[in-house]
Amino acid sequence: MDLDFWWLLVVPVAFALGWMASRYDLKALLSESANLPRSYFRGLNFLLNEQPDQAIDAFIEVVKLDPETIELHFALGNLFRRRGETDRAIRIHQNLLSRADLPVSERDHALFELGQDFLKAGLLDRAEEALGRLDAGEYARDAQRALLTIYEIEKEWGKAIDAASRLEKMGAEPLPKEIAQFHCELAQEALHRKDAVESAAQLELALSANPANVRATILAGDVAAARGDQAAAIEAWRRVEVQNPSYLPLVAEKLMKAYAALSRPQEGAALLTGYVEHYGSSDLLDVAYPHVAQLCGADAAHTLARTQMRASPNLSGMTRLLDAQIEAADEPRRGELELMRTLIKQRTKNLPRYTCQNCGFRARLFYWQCPGCSGWETYAPRRIEPIAAAQA
């Protein structure tokens, strides 16, 4: 009974203490709210009602009445940047940085926001200068990410590699795929300069960063072909099958040229025929068909196209099958088949071939970096048929 009596006393005491604390918090909140200008609440109301123009006008009035409202300056600068008024956002953040009494943390915040303003405005050199000053502190990692974006835009691949490495040291998620692609870009530039030694060195670094990088393997074949070593080029390009066979269409024509240079075109045609039969790729069929028709005869090409159509019906395979049937048809039948082939080609010639798996950007050319979202290796190296595109 004594225990129950004490519990009866504890409950009302706890309730009374909670009521007094809530009253104190409410008084403090009302006291703070009384010190805020009415324009502040009008601005918040406009934001809640998705009226950014009126919100900006209200917040500007608050800033004029109370210049010490640092957080409001940041909010106003972000609103300007979202609207594309980067010049006004830049002025706000520059004004904050000019204040001698600004705390270090707020100064870093203002410097980061200023860098974002310059980046949005396309002033990449000024954005790089602002963000480069944030090598430590709360905003250092985000600043490095922004710098990495700048270096990719400027195609400063060496700096991009350094920025990605610094991000990893700061505890960010490793970027082996991106670093390997940066080395591939440097290798591509060296190859254009006919510097095979530098290109090969960069490709080694790319594969060291990401052994699964198919582009480095393809470029290694390009370097060997540029040196005139067709056998080494073939060896490199055939390794693509081991890494990722879906990329074989990117090296199919290269392989045929290398085999032709070695006076072994029949071997190349047999290799591509095996690829088509094993992987059922319409892209591979497009490359293999004319070579098979030329080297092995129309019947062999017809058989290859027919087998592919039965395994995986698509418009590209249908075009090749019609090509084979036209060769074997008599004159009246040939005209009908040619009309069918023309209609299919007209239907498919302007369709985008590749689709980014990240943002959906479509393009007729294959890209290692998507022009839409700047993602690396987001394009699957296969064409999208009209039916598949419609379903997607």
- DSSP summary character for residue 314: -
Query: Distance from first CA to last CA of the chain, Å, rounded?
Result: 72
Q: Is 356 known to sit in a ligand binding site?
A: yes
Looking at residue 371, its pLDDT comes to 87
Please tell me the predicted confidence (pLDDT) of residue 238. Answer: 95
Q: Is 373 part of any known ligand binding site?
A: yes
- d(CA 158, CA 176) in angstroms, rounded, equals 15
Cα–Cα nearest to 316, from 292, 293, 349: 349
Q: Domains of the chain: which residue ranges?
A: 175-232, 258-350, 351-392
Residues 48-100: pLDDT tens digits? 455 555 655 555 555 444 445 667 677 777 877 887 888 888 887 887 777 77
Q: How far apart are CA 265 and CA 230, in angstroms?
A: 13
Report the relative pairing of strands 362-363 and 354-355 from DSSP bridges.
Answer: antiparallel
359 annotated to a ligand binding site? yes
Residues of the chain predicted below pLDDT 50: 1-3, 5-11, 13, 17, 19-35, 39-41, 47-48, 63-67, 386-392
Handedness of CA 45, 48, 53, 57 (dihedral sign): positive
Q: Does 296 count as an annotated binding residue?
A: no
Task: Give start and end residues of each alpha helix (H) in 246-359.
Answer: 249-261, 265-279, 282-296, 298-311, 315-328, 331-348
3-state secondary structure of 354: strand
What pLDDT does 108 receive?
Answer: 87
Residues 168-211 pLDDT 10s: 888 888 899 999 999 999 999 999 999 989 999 999 999 999 99
